[in-house]
Amino acid sequence: MQLHHGTHTLLWILLNFEKVQRRAARFAKSDFRRTTSVTQLLTELDWSQLADRRRFARLSMFFKAVHGLVAIPTDKLLRPSRYTRQSGQDTFINLPCRIDTYKFSFLPRTITDWNALPESTRSKPSVDSFRRTLQRPPDC
């Protein structure tokens, strides 16, 4: 199989990882019937989607950066000049992106996800409490 360059390559790789996880769920539950919902198997196994795990890891790292716990400088990131119900002191202006490679890199992608979090989540006092809040289902 021939790989395409750039974003298509990354997408191809990520989709293949998702396929491996889905096959692993079937294997772990010993259920290979075509009528079985793999999503249900993942739920029963309490396995989160790999895309959710990547998002969780990015947001956790950004939380550490915002609080000065890792050497990722956030002081150069622009903050809104005025605050609204959606944007507070802990939000950042989205970085302008013209190229997909940059658009889906760490900072632009994570800032968008960070700003979408509720203020109560962004303002947690510790990394552990932040992670616990992220792991909770949205209905809680």
pLDDT (mean) for 71-85: 77
Verify that 72 and 15 share a domain, yes or no.
no
Neighbour-count burial of 47, counting CB atoms closer than 10 A to its CB (0-12 exposed, 13-18 middle, 19+ buried): middle
Q: pLDDT digits over 100-115, tens only?
A: 777 778 889 999 999 9
In total, the chain counts a number of residues equal to 140
Based on the domain organization, do 61 and 32 belong to the same domain?
A: no
Same domain? 33 vs 91: no
pLDDT of residue 101: 75
Q: Are residues 90 and 137 in the same domain?
A: yes
Q: Rounded to a whole number, what is the distance in angstroms from the first to the last CA of the chain?
A: 44
Name the most confidently modeled range: 9-18, 27-36, 84-93: 27-36
> 48-62, 67-81, 89-103, 126-140 — which one is most confidently predicted on average?
48-62
Q: Given pLDDT bands bounded at 50, 70 and 90, which one contains residue 125?
A: very high
Of 51-60, 92-101, 119-128, least confident by mean pLDDT is 92-101
Asked whether residue 22 falls in the same domain as residue 32, the answer is: yes
Cα 33 from chain centroid?
Answer: 31
The predicted model scores a pTM of 0.71
Residues 6+ apart with CB under 8 A from 78: 92, 93
Report percent pLDDT > 90 for the chain. Answer: 28
Residues 54 and 102 in one domain: yes
- Note whether 66 and 106 are same-domain residues: yes
- Check whether 72 has a pLDDT greater than 80: yes
